[in-house]
Amino acid sequence: MKSEAISERERGQSGPADDDPCFYSAGDLVAAYRSRKLSPSEVTEAFFARIDRINPVVNAYVTLARESALADARAATQSLRPGNALGPLHGVPVAIKDVTPTRGIRTTWGSKIYADHVPDEDALIVQRLKAAGAIVIGKTNTPEFAAGAHTFNALFGPTRNPWNVALSAGGSSGGAAVAVATGMSTLADGSDLGGSLRTPAAFCGVVGFRGSPGLVPAYPSQLAWNSLSVQGPIARSVGDIARMLTVIAGRDDRDPMSYDLDTRAFADTVQSPNVRGWKIAWTPDLNGLLPVDSEIINISSKACDVFRKLGATVDATSPDFNELHEIVVGTRGLSMVALHADKLERWRSELQEGLVWNIEQGLLLTAREIARAELARTRLWRRVHGFMQDYDLMILPGTAALPFPVQLPYPPEIAGTKMTNYMEWFYLTYAISLTALPVISIPCGFTKDMLPVGLQIVGRRRNEASVLTAAAAFERAQPWSHHRPPVLS
């Protein structure tokens, strides 16, 4: 069957890399169910046992769907009859970010405003995951309305980094990344505007994938034509990212940004990944535009050597991102006003400080300033598009800063440069979002204090396959799956 074939390619060896089913790949779980080695019921119970032990320490989950998940697991177990077709995620546990609506399961957006909100409809991504056989086991923590790259809110508090619980897990999909990193879920969904899939993936030592706008259709959505915010997967391996994409990607007419594509092609990217002869551009800081921690630069720069050994050519170069600040201020301010300005009059005192600041900053923008930002983004796109005609990929660090103390709203400085607001420190990921190019964050090493460091791999327009191929090749050359966060010990 297809799922078993993918499983072998996903793990790159003849059997599961770990005897603990909480760390099996999605493909390994499906294969174990088919062979009757495991059942969805016992695996789901094992996940909840781990959650009961680990989650009080890290605060990744804010709502558990224990009753419905165990019922779904029993049904998945009963369906394991000879001849029955199994979905690609049959019985696979998945965590859903607390900004993604889930029917019958509390969804708060990390806000006191929606503390008791229970949707009556699943988001499209949840519908697709369930249709593929996935089991939703809970909702993961996020900053309020997913605004920010550090996961904390007044409703549930902060999510802690499993490599050092005194530090941030990143955001805004911080709960999702921690759940996956600690074996409290096999897969997780997340969202990414300025780096919300990639930053927590880098901080927590997992994989986060931001696809082209429209690759994963979003419904419901207040801003249907928004090309900055996307949904995507978090997993422990590139193979699991590819498997999840086969389920959640593809056209849906409720999202006008979505488009047709053959999602089955994602599985091919992890079969025999080869980047020999490819041309790759490497930049540690967008040609000196942004401050980046020196240890991050040193570790992520070693990825160049890995790709060279794999047969690629790597050049130190970057497109011109000099209008980055103006574009971020204009485009983000506009979306913040559209999504949240109506909350200020009634809820100002309840909203997160950074969110209020961002809404007010947007309200101060003039039409001319917004127009200039849009014009600058077009110029940026043309420069990047022209640059990428000469390169198959661009690589750069996954974050500019290392995980910082969990009680801080953002790092106070990076490489000696003071941060003046909660957005500046994640401009290294935000810059790539503005290009609308597909990008993945993969683990590429550890600091002297054993904190994970991520690497961003950026592809050409709508060329997700090249990004996944390069990430899978790197994963085989420099495996990271055997590393386990200290919180598990």
Report in angstroms the alpha-carbon separations of 132 from 85, 215, 435: 11, 18, 31
The active-site residue, picked from 3, 39, 168, 196, is 196
What length is written for the chain? 489
Closest CA to 318 of 383, 381, 374: 383
Contact 143, 406 (CB under 8 A): no
The active-site residue, picked from 3, 39, 111, 172, is 172
Residue 7 a catalytic site member: no
Helices (H) and strands (E) in the chain, counts: 16, 15
Burial label for 38, CB within 10 Å (0-12, 13-18, 19+), is buried
Residue 196 a catalytic site member: yes
Distance CA 216, CA 285 (A): 29
Closest CA to 125 of 198, 67, 203, 192: 192
Helix (H, G, I), strand (E, B) or coil at 301: helix
Distance CA 206, CA 209 (A): 10
Question: Nearest-5° angle of CA 215, CA 72, CA 87?
Answer: 45
Residue 139 a catalytic site member: no
Record the tokens describing residue 416, joined without a space.
Answer: 């000696």
Contact 295, 398 (CB under 8 A): no
Largest CA distance in the chain: 65
Catalytic residue IDs: 97, 172, 196
